[in-house]
Chains A and B, each alone.
Chain A
Amino acid sequence: MIYGEWQAVGGIVIGATHIRQDKPCQDALLVCALEEEEQSEHGFETNDKGSADVIRTKSPLWGVSASIGDGHGSDSCPYSNEGAEAAVKIACEIFREMHKDLAAHKDIRLPKLIEAKWKERIREIHEENGREYSEPFPYILYGTTLLAVVASEDFIFALQIGDGNILLIDKDANAHPILAAEENVGEDTESLCLTDAWTYIRTQIIPWNSSNGPAMVLLSTDGYANSFSSASGFLKAGADFFKLWQEEGLSYVDENLSDWLRQSSDKGSGDDIAMALLVFE
């Protein structure tokens, strides 16, 4: 194969803390192919009670996208799981519409579109459920982060608002953070619910060439990185995922991902975890 292809897998687990508090999973995940919808296979999971389903898609024609969201889950954000679901769906819809123009519109038009469509959708959800409100509309009820990646033949596009992590792991298994914000100590996070949220959306285009060799992009909500004692432990996870894929194959990673995420949450943060892995070879 001359150009290789991108494939993606993903997994999501509810955290031990949310199980104990009888709260739903606040994370969401959507992996989709960017061709015509009828040709693509895509999945969506929210997972209420702890099972960890894996979604797999493969796009030899143009590329794939993966989006994850982390609803804030605090008392002020009771519908944040719905906010996270809406965010990942909207990211996929927008990428399908304008994936060929991402580079031109990554700084203003795209972030504005994501904020506008998310807020429009949130109002619809609120009204469909007969929930009351007064203006200004309390978007915080649905507050969520959003991390998304589009991987194509000639570029990787990454987008992020709020906490969570994106890593690019190169052919030598070195993990490089993408869009890493200045370290936010504590639990502060930016959110789609903010006024002018688009100004907080960070984007990056990384030129891509098939001659770069095998590569992996890892996206995870903060429950994953927070499970490690130090930042280096998380970077090592990126390198380990790459090696496991290279040595054991993507199916092996696919089959074990949910177990690994469950163990990580249990041993570490206790938080929900959503993760997507995009691989190129």
Chain B
Amino acid sequence: MNERNLPGGEMSSRILDFFWIADCSGSMNGEKIQTLNYAIRQTIPDMRKEADANPNASIMVRAVKFSDGAAWHVPTATLIDDFNWTDLSAGGVTAMGMALELVAGELKQFPTDTKRLPPVLVLLTDGQPTDDFKRGLDELTATPWGKKAVRIAIAIGKDVDLDVLEQFAGNKELVLEAKNPQLLVKFIKWASTVVKNVSAPMVSDTGSGGAIDVNTIPTASVDDDDIW
């Protein structure tokens, strides 16, 4: 191999940015937030395995929490190999719009000439926004990377404003209704698996050819409880 004259500048694997956006409002208190913490922690080994299997993509994880306001729970893009989950606690209202603004601010910083893969944004909530959700969403989708992001919404329980989540996801099929803890765990695990496929090309204007196979979204099983 002739490495001496390898043409071109610095080479690197492609970055895949993954954002957890978690509702920590008072209504999440108890089993909902405990299940969320448990499920996100469960995704880590699988995401690490996926990263090992694909050395040409670096999975970087961040997390945002929102209640009375929005704040970074994991502020620094963290390589999945170094990522650990610290449990969230719940209390306050549902400043979902502010959370999206926070993510938008981060995506704005991404240079457009780098060969990043589309970011994956996973929004988890059990309620309705108590702030200006539309402003946050507009800010998010106004950024080039926000527009291209794979956006998945997980509705926890029965009191969720599904219209809002559909606006976030931009696609009804990517709004997943977790009506019980078992489904919430399945959905969170499934959302983490889309990192496998986001590098597949999406044919412009058709919405086809892209990565997310909605047929793989888990469904409720007869053994699941129905308590939310």
Interface residues of A (CB under 8 A from B): 15-17, 20, 72-77, 140, 143, 163, 183-191, 193-194, 200, 225-234, 236-237, 240-241, 244, 248, 256, 259-260, 262-264, 267-271
Shortest CB-to-CB span from B19 to chain A, Å, is: 15
| Contact assessment for A76 and B209 in the assembled complex, using a CB-CB cutoff below 8 Å | yes
Chain B residue contacts of A193, Cβ below 8 A: 203, 206
B51-59, B60-68, B174-182: which lies at the interface: B51-59
- Pick from A17, A73, A244, A269: contact of B201, CB below 8 A: A73
Q: What are 24 pairs between A and B in contact, CB < 8 Å?
A: A73-B200, A140-B208, A143-B203, A186-B116, A188-B201, A190-B203, A225-B115, A226-B115, A228-B10, A229-B114, A230-B9, A233-B8, A233-B11, A234-B8, A234-B9, A244-B5, A260-B5, A260-B6, A260-B7, A263-B6, A264-B11, A267-B11, A269-B13, A269-B115
CB closest chain-A residue, reference B150: A186
The total of chain B residues at the interface (CB under 8 A) is: 44
User: CB-CB < 8 A to B37: which residues of A?
Assistant: none
Contacts of B13 in A (CB 8 A): 267-270
Q: Are A16 and B203 in contact (CB under 8 A)?
A: no
B44 within 8 A of A: no
Contact of A269 among B3, B14, B204, B210 (CB under 8 A): B14
Contact residues, B143-158 vs A (CB, 8 A): 144-145, 148
Complex Cα distance, B9 from A104, in Å, reads 39
Q: By CB atoms of chain B within 10 A, which of A74, A231, A259, A268 has the most?
A: A74
Once the chains bind, are B148 and A189 in contact (CB under 8 Å)? no
Contacts of B202 in A (CB 8 A): 74, 186-189
CA distance A74 to B7 in the complex (A): 29
Residue interface bits B1-43, CB-to-A below 8 A is 1, else 0: 1110111111111100000000000000000000000000000
Does any Cβ of A come within 8 Å of B223's Cβ?
no
Q: Please measure, in the bound complex, the distance between the C-alpha atom of A228 and the C-alpha atom of B116, giving whole angstroms.
A: 11
Taken together as a complex, chains A and B put the C-alpha atoms of A187 and B117 apart, in Å, by 7
CB proximity of B81 to chain A, nearest CB, Å: 18
Please give, as numbers and ranges, the residues of chain B lying within 8 Å of A200 by CB-CB distance.
Answer: 204
* A146 CB → nearest B CB, Å: 14
Q: Is B211's CB within 8 Å of the partner chain A?
A: yes
Given the interface pairs A190-B204, A269-B56, the reply to whether A256 lies near B2 with Cβ below 8 Å is: yes
Q: How many A-B residue pairs have CB under 8 A?
A: 164
Using known A-B contacts A76-B208, A228-B11, determine if residue A270 contacts B55 with beta carbons closer than 8 Å: yes
Question: Do most interface residues of chain B lie in helix, strand or loop, or is the interface mixed?
Answer: loop
B209→A263 contact, CB < 8 A: no
B82 / chain A contacts, CB cutoff of 8 Å: none
Provide the residues of chain B in CB contact with A259, threshold 8 Å: 1-2
- Provide the residues of chain A in CB contact with B5, threshold 8 Å: 240, 244, 248, 256, 260
Residue B198 lies at the interface, judged by CB distance under 8 Å to chain A: yes
Ranked nearest first, the 9 interchain pairs of A and B with the lowest CB-CB distance are: A233-B9, A270-B56, A237-B8, A186-B148, A74-B200, A240-B7, A186-B118, A267-B11, A226-B115
Across-interface contacts of A227 in B (CB, < 8 A): 8, 11, 115
- Shortest CB-to-CB span from A253 to chain B, Å, is 9
Give residues in B with beta carbon < 8 Å to A: 1-3, 5-14, 53-57, 111-118, 144-145, 148, 197-206, 208-211, 213
- Give the residues in chain A near B145, CB-CB below 8 Å: 185-186
Contacts of B210 in A (CB 8 A): 74, 76, 187
**Chain B CB within 10 Å — which of A16, A226, A267 has the most?**
A226
Are B55 and A194 in touch, CB under 8 angstroms? no
Given contact pairs A74-B202, A225-B115, A229-B115, enumerate 12 new A-B contacts (beta carbons under 8 Å): A77-B209, A140-B208, A143-B209, A186-B118, A187-B210, A191-B203, A193-B206, A194-B203, A227-B11, A228-B8, A230-B114, A270-B55
CB distance from A249 to the nearest CB of B (A): 13
Which residue of B111, B118, B201, B208 has the most chain A CB atoms within 10 A of its CB atom?
Answer: B201
With A76-B208, A229-B12, A236-B9 as contacts: A187 and B114 at CB distance below 8 Å: no
- For A264, list chain B residues within 8 Å (CB): 6, 8, 11
Closest chain B CB from A238 CB (angstroms): 8
